[in-house]
Every structure is written in C-alpha cells, then in structure tokens.
Structure 1
Amino acid sequence: MQVSTKGRYGLRLMAALAAQYGKGVVKVDKLSESEEITINYIHVLMNSLKTAGLVRAIRGPNGGYELAMPPDEMTAYDVVTALEGRIEPVECVHTPSMCKAVGQCMTRDVWCDLAKAYEEVLKKYTLRMLLEGWLKQHGGVDYSI
C-alpha cells in the first residue's frame, strides 16, 4: 500500500504553508518553485484541501494560499485523508459487507490492525511537528519560500 502523489505532495505543500504560517499568503508560483510541483497540480490539491477546510484561497494579484488553522491543530492524517480518502489496506476494514468471507476470514485482524496503525501514525504528527523536525535536521536554518 502506497500513498499516492496526491498525499505526498499535498503534505509537502501543507508543511510549506506551515513554515509560512502567520507571515501572510503564499503565492502559488513560490510554492511551485520551492516544492517542484506544477502550478496546475497545486491548484488540484489545494482545491481538495480547501473543500476539507484545511486551507484558504485568496484571489487576486496578491493571492495565494494559507492554512485555515494553526499548524499545531492540523495533522498529517487530516491532510492525507482529505486528498486520498479513507485509509484502508483492504475494502473489508471499513466495509465488512464487501467481503463474502468476512465471518470466517483468518486475516481480517491483520488488515484492521494495519489500518489502525497507519491512522495512529498520521494522527501523531502535526504540521508544526513536521516543521520542527525539519528545522532540527537542518540545524535550525529557517525554511523559506
């Protein structure tokens, strides 16, 4: 099970916005340049994140994107599920009726535990924690767009 580019790039974009939180709107061209993601794809990702209430879009010549809430109130889980949907290694985890063998399946516990662990890890990391981890790894050098 892999997280798609939507989840990976979306989380990177949100971490970049977290680094600029409180400094104003971040322009799309700056996000594109710093994260090496096309402007069109950024708009696709941000549209989903905006619908989920995680970012605000500001229109106009000074427009761009900003986090809709502080980075310590938003988790990797919030971002990834807004872009990828529900986390389930197999369909029967959240929809048992999808499997005819669910009642006698010896492996279902494995898939349920995997989904739970995946969710717990993503919920453990706030955007602030991602930023602080980056700063620690890079000797406190400020992340700048």
Structure 2
Amino acid sequence: MIVSTKGRYALRVMVAMAQRGGDEYIPIKEIAEQEGISLKYLESIMTILSKGGLVDAVHGKGGGYRLNRPPEKYTVGSILKLTEGGLSAVSCTSEGPSACSRSSCCETRPMWDKLDAMIDDFFEGITLADLLKEK
C-alpha cells in the first residue's frame, strides 16, 4: 500500500487545523500557503473532507474550513480511508469492481486479509490528538 499525496496532504491539513483549534474558520488560501500545497489541489482535498463530514465549510467572505469535532475523535484511518478510498495492501482484497475473481479459492487471501486488518488496526489506533502530542 502506498499512501498518495492526497492522503498525506489531508493528514497534514487536518493536523494544522487541529493545532489552530476548532472555533474559527481558516481560509483555504491560508492553509495552502502554510502547508505548501497548491490551492487547486487543496480545494479537491477539502471537498472530499467536507463531503465526507470531517470538516465544516463556509463559502464567501470570512469563510473557510474547520474541524467539526475534537482532535481525539478523528482517526488517521478514517482520514486515509476517505481520501484514499481504502487501505488495502493489495488490490485483490478490495471490494467492488476491482475485487479478485479468485478470492474464494486463493491460498494467499487469508494472509492478505490479516495484513489489511493489521494496517486498519494501526491507523485506527492513531488520532489527530496523538499526532499533535508527537510534534
């Protein structure tokens, strides 16, 4: 599994917003400058985070984005699953159209399922609050 820039940037932005507290809306341009992310790319990430219910958005003058819950209520897993579309280590364990046709008879499938569970447990065990403490 390789986490894309979308997932990594989403985590950075969420941590940056958590550092600022949750009361004020932060303009997207300010976030982009602070994190060194192109405004256009950040807009696409923030749309995903907003539609996924992880942040609140207000458009127009005085608008921006903010967290809608305390940092300890966000897991790294929830952010990555939303932005990456899942955390499967190999494509054959994913659901939907890319699901493997041999999954019912594959001798290696149980191993991949265990790895997926370990990855999920790892990322679900880390919160934004934990990341703030580590800084």
Q: CA RMSD in A?
A: 1.9
Asked if the contact 1:48–1:83 (Cα under 8 Å) also holds between the matched residues in 2, the reply is yes
Amino acid paired to 2:81: T
**TM norm structure 1:** 0.83
Is 1:113 matched with 2:109?
Answer: no
CA apart distance, 1:96: 9.4
Q: State the distance in 2 between where 1:42 and 1:11 align.
A: 12
Asked if the contact 2:22–2:69 (Cα under 8 Å) also holds between the matched residues in 1, the reply is no
Q: Specify every segment of 5 or more residues in structure 1 that has no aligned partner in the other structure, as ranges.
A: 135-145
CA apart distance, 1:93: 2.5
Amino acid paired to 1:117: M
Give CA deviations for 1:71-101 in whole Å, capped at 9, x if unaligned.
1101111111111112222344254994343
Q: Which residue of 1 aligns with 2:44?
A: 44
Q: State the distance in 1 between where 2:2 and 2:100 align.
A: 22
Amino acid paired to 1:111: W
Q: State the distance in 2 between where 1:109 and 1:73 align.
A: 31
Identity, % of aligned pairs? Answer: 34
Amino acid paired to 2:90: V
Q: State the distance in 2 between where 1:9 and 1:32 align.
A: 10
Q: Which residue of 1 aligns with 2:26?
A: 26
Alignment of 1:85-124 (within 5 A): 85-95=85-95, 98-124=99-125
- Tell me the matched-pair count: 134
Asked if the contact 1:27–1:63 (Cα under 8 Å) also holds between the matched residues in 2, the reply is yes
Q: State the distance in 2 between where 1:69 and 1:95 align.
A: 29
